[in-house]
Structure 1
Amino acid sequence: MALNANDISSIIKKQIKEFSKKSYSKETEEGQILSVGDGIALVSGLDKVKLGELLEFGDDIYGMALNLEEEAVGVVLMGSANSIKEGQKVTRTKKVVSVGVGDELIGRVINALGEPIDGKGPIKTKKERTIFRIAPGVMTRESVNQPLETGLICVDSLVPIGKGQRELIIGDRQTGKTSIAIDSILNQKGKNVKCIYVAIGQKNSTVAQIVQKLKVNGAMEYTTVVIAGASELAPLQYLAPYTGVTIAEEWMENGQDVLIVYDDLTKHAIAYRTLSLLLRRPPGREAYPGDVFYLHSQLLERAARVNKKNGGGSITALPIIETQSGDISAYIPTNVISITDGQIFTSEALFNSGQRPAIDVGFSVSRVGSSAQIKAMKQATSSLKLELSQFNEMQAFAQFSSDLDDSTKKILDHGKKVYEILKQPQYSPLDQSIQISILFIIKNKLIENIPLSNVQLFKEELIKFMSTNPEGTAISNEISLTKEITKDLETKMLSRLKQFVDEFIRSQGIEIKENNEGVK
């Protein structure tokens, strides 16, 4: 960072003047501001300062040391710089940025420094942790083989998420990315999974609506919300996700499972780029600094499932990335795709066509895959992805041909019904046993005689049957208990669900044609 000749000469004069007084074994406690502007202060005289250390500027204004250079320290300010002047004293706190952790944070809304902003009074935590830590090593980790249920039928069946996994949610603006993450949080109720929602660069009104929705659904009983809103300074937006994962690590090391959502890391990268350019760090591709990959890898690598010796808990991360016109080959999207264990891709075309959640099955993938599914789910979804791929291929082909053979018509008709069944309203996650029953009906093609216009009603009636009818709940309970579809259970399900389909067809007055197409 360049200094002018006057600054350098004044520093040298001061060093000569104070040389006899200064003991080099003793740490320098105070420095002096050389220049201040754009939320960045250049400070001289802090020879022993640590990277990430908090520095006190007076008037309850703190800064964080980010650039450690020979002649000066580059400090980012975490408050208004209006009262800060050149020549002012700066004091070391000898404290690296840290945050209070523990169960006291459950149900609270905090800022990036761990301070409460929900008006419920101070948070008295018993323990603090520094927010920048090294991720768990390979030997401390367990393999990811336990499902983290999202309650979304298209996610749990096609792109399953395991405890300890990092699954990216990526797509254009306003395509339902946050909805997927919030539904996943709502579905953890009663599953002994703590949740953390980190809002980076979001409008405060939007976050307030999300917090209210979590409260209404009873999810704040196990959730902590960390906010660094759009109006906050870039340093606070930079710190927010590290604060979130630090809180999560305390629970993980105490044997608990945690789900953390970063909404979103695109704005986090922009905040870091802002800091880097103001600190005069060399810009690289798209003006991001060279270490922007490390920025996200050091964050996401902290998500893990650790072995019993190291606590036995897990952190599952759902980072969100916003793309421009579906361009997943841009710098930040490609970086985060390469760090994570798969991605859920939301498509604008699907969203606009009414498919909710708008998950593109072709682009979405889970690199943990069926390891994160119970046996019953694997059995029920064994052919689903193939069926949808066939449908997508046939649909593209069918646009150029008006005369289609019967087998093609059958594939197209079945595919449309499957997509209709995979539609799911927001804030209505489904229990896994009910999802398996729905998928079992798809696999065994029991919906062939139900017209497309009746599919949604059929799904609603089936959910009601599986959750309230004694016969339906008996099947659901057996699936939950055994976690697999045994021969006996398969026979029972096939018989009872066929009966249910026939009852629905009769109740709706659907006539079955000879060619097996249902019409009213």
Structure 2
Amino acid sequence: MFMVTIKADEISNIILEHIKQYNREVKIVNIGTVLQVGDGITRIHGLDEVMIEGSSVKATRKIAQIPVNEAYLDCVINALAKLIDGRGEISAFKSQLIESPTSGIISRCSIYEPIQIGLIAIDLMIPIGRSQRELIIRDRKTGKIVVATDTIFNQQWQNVICVYVAIGQKASFVAQVVTTFQERGAMEYTIVVAETTDSPATLHYLAPYTGAALAEYFMYLE
């Protein structure tokens, strides 16, 4: 163990040096105190520059939409298309309506190509058409998520973009699914939209629309 000794005359020099290096810049920061946290709602006291009763609002004259970009592949986002995997931000110059008008029957193409989901019983007997809508209905804890994830795994090298939407699931479970996608190489062609159990009900409602909007962007992408 080494002892560092400082002479008395050196102390004043050290103090003067620190005074010279002191940053005199003054910043005004709006600080509050968290009073209560629960059910995805935080009550804060002391902030006077946030939305309150009587605040001014401005109409954008735009329908609700989200930013879209091919860079969202291999990312985890929330219902507002904001990255939540710690990768920063993505600059998107295009936007997609959250709820787009449905195309008419005449403008739709015929379904002639099946999509292989990896389950032999379904692929052989009742194959699902590519671009066909299919609803998975089963009781709780019977493997609906497994069917969805296996379908995503089976699209590798098939030139198919996948969007996995997790609504009301635990953050730990979503992280486990994302890790599995990464290990299987599925995140390269997959976007994960996640709103966990602690998210507000409004975002739970919005999440599937966000996932559909992202899928529609890639559908119309030339």
Give the match for residue 116 of structure 1. 83
1:397-418 deviations in Å (ceiling 9; x for gaps)? xxxxxxxxxxxxxxxxxxxxxx
Q: What aligned pairs does 1:325-364 form with structure 2 within 5 A after superposition?
A: none
Select which of 111, 115, 118 maps to 1:151.
118
Give the match for residue 88 of structure 1. 55
The one-letter code of the counterpart of 1:195 is C
Give the match for residue 220 of structure 2. 253
Q: Which has the higher contact order (CA 8 A, sep 6+)?
A: 2
Give the match for residue 211 of structure 2. 244
1:1-52 deviations in Å (ceiling 9; x for gaps)? xxxxxxxxxxxxxxxxxxxxxxxxxxxxxxxxxxxxxxxxxxxxxxxxxxxx
Give the match for residue 93 of structure 2. 126
Partners of 2:122 and 2:86 in 1: CA distance = 36
1:176 aligns with 2:149: no
1:164 aligns with 2:149: no
Give the RMSD, CA atoms, in angstroms.
Answer: 2.1
Partners of 1:177 and 1:130 in 2: CA distance = 28
Residue 152 of structure 1 deviates from its aligned partner by 1.1
Secondary structure of the 1:185 match is helix
Residue 104 of structure 1 deviates from its aligned partner by 0.9
1:107 aligns with 2:74: yes
TM-score scaled by length of structure 1: 0.33
Give the match for residue 44 of structure 1. none
The structure whose residues are more often helix, as a share, is 1
Bigger radius of gyration among the two: 1
User: Residue 92 and residue 80 in structure 1: after superposition, are their counterparts in 2 closer, same or farther (change >3 A)?
Assistant: farther
1:189 aligns with 2:156: yes
Partners of 1:146 and 1:211 in 2: CA distance = 29
The one-letter code of the counterpart of 1:193 is V
1:156-215 deviations in Å (ceiling 9; x for gaps)? 122311111111111111100000000000000000001000111111111111111000
Secondary structure of the 1:244 match is helix
Secondary structure of the 1:192 match is coil
Partners of 1:86 and 1:148 in 2: CA distance = 52
Identity %: 45
Residue 79 of structure 1 deviates from its aligned partner by 7.9
Give the match for residue 187 of structure 2. 220
Partners of 1:125 and 1:195 in 2: CA distance = 19
1:135-170 deviations in Å (ceiling 9; x for gaps)? 111111112221110011122122311111111111
Runs of 4+ in 1 over 4 A off after TM superposition: 78-84
Residue segments in structure 1 that go unaligned for 5+ positions in a row = 1-58, 60-77, 256-520
